[in-house]
Amino acid sequence: MTTATTTADDEAPAFSELRERLWQAVIDCDELSALSLVRAAADTGACDPVQVRRAAERILLDLIAPTQRRVGTEWAANKITVAQEHAATAINERCISALADATAHALPETSRGRVVVACVDGEWHALPARLVAEVLRLRGWRVDYLGAQVPTEHLVAHLHHTGADAVLLSSSIPTHLPIAHTAISACQAIGVPVLAGGAAFGEDGRYARAMRAEWALDAAGAHLALAQGLERPKADAARLPDRDLPHLNDQEYTMVRRVKRQLVKQALADVEDGFPAMRDYSEFQRERTVEDIDYIVSYLATALYVDDADLFTTFVTWTAGILEARRVPAASLQPVLVSLLRQLSDFPRAVSILDQSRVALTDLRSGQTS
């Protein structure tokens, strides 16, 4: 007699449907439904540990990761609140823990090596690093997961103490790149290879490479790089940032960082002059405006650090989108850029970056109106 055979995969609803259901659960702050959905997806009925691990990895990377990314797009489009975004992240973190518990029995018995996964100092986006850590565990690595914003000196002390084979540094926000550079060279200086990853390092990893770190796009890439073996840093790896980034010698980055408060204060005054209506802003609105200008100056400083106008232009056009979604005209960014141009007229690289961002902003607006 022949029976129709069904695999666990055929029985499971399509992943796109699962994604939609997880999305609904996290956005309704429905933690219990999200957890039971993830547990059910992990429970494929497979006894083979390899299959259990594969299913778990797929849940991490094809279910939870895209749900988190969608949180970002919907927040940017002003379709969900900051509170929903926080709740969604908390629920997804809990789902990852539940999955780790449910699959602990299937982890490989022998370890491929010991690695440390940490976010650079100041970086709050721990979830991307956590996904990488869990995938590496499933693939047989012993992982010390240190979580968000790890101060460099404590990271280095941990590496010393444990003798880890490599450190994986995660960063999502480009303004953390200067501090990431310090962490990279500090780890390499004690002979530990560094693999960097996360959105901050650029889609192609260009900033990681400029800072002489290895780079991988994602968790699978991280596993591959580790399995192939990372090169041990040479004895002379201790260095100042300008050895990797010689343009820092022009001091533009250092100066902009040093006078940042003044730049922000003056830009605020200039914007107020241009928009007298701003004088009637509430304390709360003023604080948000100061925050926005502060953020703009931080991105400008970072673009100077890595010498890449694209980094700033991408940020300015992204901010324009965020503002427009909240019915604030993107044109309100121009007076800030003009003020910074005037204040930094003696800094050729800053002027060029600001000019390019103004053009991009104008192109964006004419693209929207044409």
Shortest Å, Cβ 67 to ligand B12: 8
Shortest Å, Cβ 82 to ligand B12: 7
Shortest Å, Cβ 34 to ligand B12: 15
Shortest Å, Cβ 186 to ligand B12: 16
- DSSP codes, 284-333: HHHHHHHHHHHHHHHHHHHHHHHT-HHHHHHHHHHHHHHHHHTT--GGGG
d(C-alpha 269, C-alpha 226), whole Å: 51
Nearest-CB residue for ligand B12:
197
Q: Which is nearer to ligand B12, 313 or 343 (CB)?
A: 313
Q: Any long-range contacts for 357-361 (C-beta under 8 Å, 24+ apart)?
A: 357/309, 357/312, 357/313, 357/316, 358/334, 360/313, 360/316, 360/317, 361/316, 361/317, 361/320, 361/330, 361/333, 361/334, 361/337
In the numeric block, the tokens 């449907």 are attached to 17
d(C-alpha 253, C-alpha 262), whole Å: 15
Q: Which is nearer to ligand B12, 99 or 132 (CB)?
A: 132
Q: Which is nearer to ligand B12, 197 or 233 (CB)?
A: 197
In the chain, which ranges are E strands? 114-119, 142-147, 166-170, 194-197, 214-215
Q: Which is nearer to ligand B12, 226 or 343 (CB)?
A: 226
Chain positions contacting ligand B12, by CB under 6 A: 61, 65, 68-69, 71-73, 75-76, 85-86, 89, 122-129, 131-132, 168-170, 172-174, 195-199, 216, 218-219, 221-222, 315, 318
Per DSSP bridges, beta strands 142-147 and 214-215 are unpaired
Shortest Å, Cβ 27 to ligand B12: 12
Shortest Å, Cβ 340 to ligand B12: 18
Q: Which is nearer to ligand B12, 18 or 343 (CB)?
A: 18
Q: Which is nearer to ligand B12, 216 or 320 (CB)?
A: 216
8 A C-beta contact, residue 60 and residue 135? yes
